[in-house]
Structure 1
Amino acid sequence: MAILRGFDIARTVEVSRRAWDVGIRLVEVPVQNETAVAALRAAVEAGAERGAVVGAGTVTTVERVERAVAAGAGFTVAPGFSREVAEASLAAGLPHLPGVATATEIQQAQALGLTWLKAFPAADLGAGWIASMHGPFPEARFVATGGMNLSNTGEFLAAGAAAVSLGSALADPDQFAQLPALITSITEKADR
């Protein structure tokens, strides 16, 4: 998943298209201000042309859920777990990816039926955290987010992460150029 934080509208659409072109399936646009909501709306429109799904990130309040819905988001993502935000997103018909960093947060999210969970901040938690949490929570599907780049992605996937989110790594031309090979490698391993 690509996280496009802080880009203007044109850059958000441009990087979204580049991400889809190299095989990244999901794009998240954090909605921390009105410019970001406009960028989300533009990315949603660009995604519709390709059948690509775009979601709203940093959804920390019910008001942000409402903005995400109005902009056409296909899902919501939060840095932490809030029952109120998760319930508002689910009530609006949007899948919700809450951030978790403890067993308690995982249990609370799962009590709402959420099995896809954002391990955040993943680089600080470490890949071992993913493996450890799969013991008591084998049904959890973790998306490693926060501090992810091409050098640590493989480690997190090997530890059991179902997906990774790349943010600042997308702004690095060298890392971006390496994405197609990484995605092909991951896809081939998953197909085995």
Structure 2
Amino acid sequence: MSFDDLLRGRPLVAILRGVPVARALEIARAVWDSGLGVVEVPIQTPEAVECLRVLAAEGHPVGAGTVRSAAQVEAAAEAGAVFTVAPGLDLDVVRASQAAGLPHLPGVATPSEVHHALQAGCEWLKAFPAGALGPAWLRELRGPFPEAKFVATGGIGAHNAPEYLAAGARALGVGGAVTTDGGLPPLLEVLRRT
């Protein structure tokens, strides 16, 4: 499965960092039921890997986030992840994900990182931290890299989601606004209208 398949018509990557399993299931089911997104679980702890395993057993696409080593790629695949996400560009992680058959979404924040990620076979890129980069960064990078498909991540919520989508983001990686009580419904409403 590719990101083209995973994110077609789904502009939301809901990031469930440090969320207990019961709450993660509740949020993930709301995201899946909306038809607007997929779920990512950052796997920085054994508890997070178990959370990923539980969510993956639900039968919907779930990815592993904050993947920074080949060992984490292996743990993600074993737990049932169908994609991996990283905060930066590490070519060893890209290769490990590709070898495991998992599409990888590397974090990029410079034109050089975009170039190197594309050269490594990653068409979908995580613009991170999007809140600091701003929508203008996406507009400017689309010129020299029209083939890049960006997932703007970091500092995104209902208040600014339309700006990033209008600037060319194909999807939005959203953590805090999704996991905060009452934060998901307004974001989903904005995405339905956009």
Q: Normalised by the size of structure 2, how large is the TM-score?
A: 0.90
CA contact (8 A) 1:55 1:77 kept: yes
User: In structure 2, what is the Cα distance between the partners aligned to 1:10 and 1:66?
Assistant: 25
CA contact (8 A) 2:154 2:173 kept: yes
> CA offsets, 1:89-120, max 9 Å, x none?
00100000000000111111111111100000
> CA offsets, 1:42-73, max 9 Å, x none?
01011x1xxx2100000001110010010010
Indicate yes or no: 2:115 matched with 1:103: no
1:177 deviates by 2.2
User: In structure 1, what is the Cα distance between the partners aligned to 2:36 and 2:24?
Assistant: 14
What amino acid is aligned across from residue 65 of structure 2 in structure 1? G
CA contact (8 A) 1:8 1:39 kept: yes
What amino acid is aligned across from residue 5 of structure 1 in structure 2? R
Which of 1 and 2 has higher RCO (CA within 8 Å, sep 6+)? 2
Indicate yes or no: 2:51 matched with 1:43: no
Count of aligned residue pairs for this structure pair: 182
Q: Aligned with 2:183: secondary structure? A: helix
Instruction: List aligned pairs for 1:85-164, cutoff 5 A.
Output: 85-164=93-172
CA contact (8 A) 1:23 1:183 kept: no
Which residue of structure 2 lines up, in the alignment, with residue 27 of structure 1? 39
CA contact (8 A) 1:25 1:53 kept: no
The counterpart of 2:29, out of the listed 17, 32, 36, is: 17
CA RMSD of aligned residues (A): 1.1
Q: Normalised by the size of structure 1, how large is the TM-score?
A: 0.91
User: In structure 2, what is the Cα distance between the partners aligned to 1:64 and 1:172?
Assistant: 27
CA contact (8 A) 1:29 1:39 kept: yes
Which residue of structure 2 lines up, in the alignment, with residue 60 of structure 1? 68
Segments of structure 1 that go 5 or more residues without pairing to the other structure are 187-192
What amino acid is aligned across from residue 35 of structure 1 in structure 2? E
Q: Aligned with 1:184: secondary structure? A: helix
Answer 1 or 2: which has greater helix percent.
1
CA contact (8 A) 1:134 1:140 kept: yes
1:181 deviates by 2.1
What amino acid is aligned across from residue 139 of structure 1 in structure 2? E
Which residue of structure 2 lines up, in the alignment, with residue 84 of structure 1? 92
1:25 deviates by 2.1
Q: Is the deviation greater in 67-76 or in 10-19?
A: 10-19
User: In structure 2, what is the Cα distance between the partners aligned to 1:110 and 1:171?
Assistant: 31
User: In structure 1, what is the Cα distance between the partners aligned to 2:187 and 2:34?
Assistant: 7
Q: Percent identity?
A: 49
User: In structure 2, what is the Cα distance between the partners aligned to 1:172 and 1:164?
Assistant: 16
Q: Is the deviation greater in 35-44 or in 169-178?
A: 169-178
Q: Is the deviation greater in 130-139 or in 173-182?
A: 173-182
Q: Aligned with 2:53: secondary structure? A: helix
What amino acid is aligned across from residue 55 of structure 1 in structure 2? G
